Amino acid sequence: MQKRSWNKEAWTRQILKGDVRSASRLLTLVENHDRAARPLLKALFPHTGRATLIGVTGPAGAGKSTLINQLITSFRKQKRSVGVLAIDPTSPLSGGAILGDRLRMHPHFLDRQVFIRSLATRGAWGGISPALFDAIHILDAMGKEVILIETVGVGQDEVEIARLADVVVLVLAPGMGDDVQMMKAGLLEIGDVVAVNKGDRREARELLHQLRETVYDRPLIKISAEKGEGLLLLLSEIEKASADRDARISRQKKFVEEELRTHLREVLGETVSEASFDDREIEAILLRKRDPYDLVRSWIKRGKG
């Protein structure tokens, strides 16, 4: 990157206008833990909190990327601007994200109202990237009305996505066998909506039968992401789940608390699992009266770190 010859105000204005190049540069700073990102993130934070966050999780090979490709198409038909943050395993050579099947989303690469970015896990626990919180705020500030977050697909560690999204879609596929039993205590619990992909296959009936004994309190939908079947029903259930105001506020509080702990870990260089924050502090951030960066700094000054 060039020497620090940028203008914070001009750069912020460009991102707020939806400029892809400016947002991409800031995302790179965030992934590299560059301190130069902090003033820009602070300037953008008051313009966030408007996007609907949809987590898409599930085992590798379940068809998450194919489904997201279809969801992008559906949201664009509704004239909604879409952001995608696809969490990928870290490349052992470059330390960056391995793009993998992001190529499934190639029909949308030229759409200026769709922004797709892969983020590397860089060893993060929970199937998410340590840069994800800031990345969400950047896309939100860009004006993305819907932000789709795709996780790696590593099993029960995916539960962390439940702290971030307004609604979580759990994608499963036939051929998993006894894995359903193994997931009862973990992955199955986090999906607000459970989608059985490849539902046109004969084996899907058995999986649906198994799931109905476990997933009885949430929508269970049979889809075929590749063919676009079942998408209208899935979208309807996503909209219902994201419209649950009480659940959304509760999820947002968890999001803020986890974000604060992430920033504390970054500053202190150690695990901060017991950090607790006053409800008024959380409320101030939710109302955008304060930003998490200032709160972390004051929290450390008060000697709680």
Spacing of C-alpha 105 from chain mean position: 16
Which pLDDT score is estimated for 270?
58
- Work out the burial of residue 254: count CB atoms within 10 Å of its CB; fewer than 13 is exposed, 13-18 middle, 19 or more buried: middle
Which pLDDT score is estimated for 206?
85
Give the model confidence (pLDDT) of 245-283 as tens digits. Answer: 777 788 788 888 878 877 777 777 655 555 677 888 888
Q: What is the DSSP letter of 104?
A: G
Q: Supply the angle between the helices 8-16 and 132-142 in degrees, to the nearest 10.
A: 70
pTM of the model: 0.86
For the ranges 2-11, 30-39, 75-84, the lowest mean pLDDT is seen at 2-11
User: Pseudo-torsion of CA 68, 74, 78, 81, nearest 10°?
Assistant: 20
The 3 state secondary structure assigned to 161-225 is: HHHCCCEEEEEECCCCCCHHHHHCCCHHHHCCEEEECCCCCCHHHHHHHHHHCCCCCCCEEECEC
Mean pLDDT of the 137-157 span: 84
Rounded percentage of the chain residues whose pLDDT exceeds 70: 77
Q: Pick the residue with more confidence: 88 or 181? A: 88
Phi, then psi, of 209 in degrees rounded to 5: -65, -45
Q: What is the DSSP letter of 52?
A: E
Mean pLDDT of the 218-225 span: 94
Which pLDDT score is estimated for 89?
60
Return d(Cα 64, Cα 150) in angstroms, integer. Answer: 7
Mean pLDDT of the 83-87 span: 91
Give the model confidence (pLDDT) of 291-304 as tens digits. Answer: 888 888 887 776 55
Which pLDDT score is estimated for 254?
81
Q: Pick the residue with more confidence: 82 or 199? A: 82
Mean pLDDT of the chain: 81
Mean pLDDT of the 111-130 span: 71
Alpha helices by DSSP H, listed for the chain, are 8-16, 20-31, 37-44, 64-77, 132-142, 179-183, 187-190, 203-212, 231-242, 245-268, 279-286, 292-301
